[in-house]
Amino acid sequence: MAEPRIASIDGKLAEEFAVPSHVDEVKEKMSAFAAQHVATGRRVVLITSGGTKVPLESRTVRFLDNFSSGRRGASSAEYFIDSGYAVIFLHRHRSLYPYTRTFSTINMLDALQFRSGEEASGNTAEVVVNQQVLPNVSKVLKQYQEVKECRLLLPVEFNTLSEYLHLLKAAAQALSTIGSKAMFYLAAAVSDFYIPASEMPEHKIQSSNGPLQLSLNMVPKILSPLVKDWAPQAFVVSFKLETDATILLGKARRALDTYRHQVVVANVLDSRRGYVVVVTPETQAELILTEEDVKNDIEIEERIVSNLTSAHNKFISQQVG
Ligand code: PMT
């Protein structure tokens, strides 16, 4: 089927996906963030992270969701910052977040205790952290505070598919001013299906009406206008997720042919923490964690980011030269 024209994707976004009220304000913040960091010689990466929520009713009681935890995006943000990038972190509300991600399964109250002998003073008693419950907390806190101090991380939240689409468009337009110094790292798991606002029931769907049949429309592939129109000079990395490993690389190559961007990181649901293939029009690199790597707490995102920052360097030098 022919690719829809760019103008029609823009029109569709405006008509069928509710525009978040704060989109212009966020766009200005992203532009200022990018300009400030590029002026000091940094590059900027826009990371998308987490799943999207697709409402079934406009006063939403029920929605469709997916598996993505946001771990890929959150850990990659840390490695990009370590590699000298400033990061715009466009993430699903409550998905994993850089630095705090390592403590996400811990109940905060289990990690706190009263300084000995202070329990009696009730509300004003001094509380300290039990570092056995939060291992490495000092190291992580130090990194987090440095990042905050230098304003290297700009978090932007989305919840629904509509918010994701509009905020990504705003980000792409904001980063278009820095040309090839911008990287897009599209790790979010975005729904391919949705119910347009015009066809969505307002109120809670009644189970008394019997079994529910849903008809969902296709979400426009946002990669297309992003690469061709919104940020045509940027270095764009998309992800390809499959559950059937036999079709993965073919689909990754097809995405590169269709969208004409720079890289697809291909991964399979069950092995995504330890194995990915970085595919470009000319190359294919397998990144694998060994048992030894896992024992040493090495994360695959460190390898992905190292591969991509080298490729981005090369890309920038080719644009300049
Ligand atoms: O979050 P984790 O639990 O750590 O898992 C990480 C991950 C598996 C989610 C991540 O590694 C990953 O593969 N993310 C992309 C998953 C996905 O949605 O793949 P896809 O084949 O549906 O989409 C391919 C690309 O098209 C994506 O880069 C997406 O940004 C883009 N897309 C998708 C839908 C859409 N309407 N427009 C798009 O441009």
Q: Whose CA is nearest to atom 36 of ligand 1?
A: 221
Instruction: Please state, in angstroms and rounded to a whole number, the distance separating the CA atoms of residues 148 and 157.
Output: 17
Q: Whose CA is nearest to atom 18 of ligand 1?
A: 189
114 within some domain = yes
Tell me what percent of the residues of the chain surpass a pLDDT of 70. 95
Tell the burial category of 292 from Cβ atoms under 10 Å away from its Cβ (0-12, 13-18, 19+): exposed
Instruction: Show the tokens assigned to 133.
Output: 């419950």
Query: Has residue 321 got a pLDDT over 60?
Result: no
Tell the burial category of 145 from Cβ atoms under 10 Å away from its Cβ (0-12, 13-18, 19+): exposed
Structural domain range at position 49: 6-320
Closest CA to 255 of 277, 270, 239: 239
Residue 258's H or E segment, with its range, is helix 245-259
pLDDT of residue 121: 64
CA of 49 to the centre of ligand 1 (A): 9
194 within some domain = yes
Instruction: Please state, in angstroms and rounded to a whole number, the distance separating the CA atoms of residues 242 and 174.
Output: 31
35 within some domain = yes
Q: Model confidence over 272-293: pLDDT tens digits?
A: 999 999 999 999 999 999 999 9
Three-class SS state of 113: strand
Q: Which phi and psi angles does 283 have, rounded to 5°?
A: -135, 170
Instruction: Please state, in angstroms and rounded to a whole number, the distance separating the CA atoms of residues 2 and 224.
Output: 12
Q: Model confidence over 188-242: pLDDT tens digits?
A: 999 999 998 889 999 999 999 999 999 999 999 999 999 999 999 999 999 999 9
Q: Which residues contact 253 (CB under 8 A, 6 or more apart)?
A: 264, 279
Q: Tell me, what CATH number does 243's domain have?
A: 3.40.50.10300
pLDDT of residue 10: 86
- Pairing between β-strand 275-279 and β-strand 263-268 as defined by DSSP bridges: antiparallel
Three-class SS state of 218: strand
CA of 241 to the centre of ligand 1 (A): 6
CA of 31 to the centre of ligand 1 (A): 25
Cα-atom radius of gyration of the chain, to the nearest Å?
Answer: 21
1 within some domain = no
- Structurally, how many domains does the chain consist of? 1
pTM score: 0.94
Question: Can you tell me the mean pLDDT for 155-183?
Answer: 96
Angle at 134 between CA 131 and CA 139, to 5 degrees: 80
CA of 274 to the centre of ligand 1 (A): 17
Q: Whose CA is nearest to atom 30 of ligand 1?
A: 186
Query: If you average pLDDT over every residue of the chain, what do you get?
Result: 94
Query: Has residue 14 got a pLDDT over 90?
Result: no
161 within some domain = yes
**Closest approach atom of ligand 1 to CA 96:** 1
pLDDT of residue 320: 65
Query: Has residue 3 got a pLDDT over 90?
Result: no
Query: Has residue 4 got a pLDDT over 50?
Result: no
Question: Can you tell me the mean pLDDT for 108-114?
Answer: 93
In DSSP terms, 238 is beta-bridged to 186, 264
Tell me what percent of the residues of the chain surpass a pLDDT of 90. 87
H helices of 93-194, in order, are: 137-149, 161-175
**Closest approach atom of ligand 1 to CA 187:** 14
**Closest approach atom of ligand 1 to CA 189:** 18
Residues with beta carbon inside 6 Å of ligand 1? 68-72, 186-190, 192, 219, 221-223, 238-241, 267, 272
Angle at 25 between CA 163 and CA 30, to 5 degrees: 85
CA of 206 to the centre of ligand 1 (A): 32
Q: Model confidence over 176-188: pLDDT tens digits?
A: 999 999 999 999 9
182 within some domain = yes
CA of 117 to the centre of ligand 1 (A): 52
pLDDT of residue 62: 95
302 within some domain = yes
Q: Whose CA is nearest to atom 21 of ligand 1?
A: 240
**Closest approach atom of ligand 1 to CA 237:** 28
pLDDT of residue 5: 47
Residue of 101, 238, 299, 305 to test ligand 1 pocket, by largest number of atoms within 8 Å of CB: 238
187 within some domain = yes
Residue of 239, 243, 300 to test ligand 1 pocket, by largest number of atoms within 8 Å of CB: 239
pLDDT of residue 1: 45
Instruction: Show the tokens assigned to 172.
Output: 């792409």
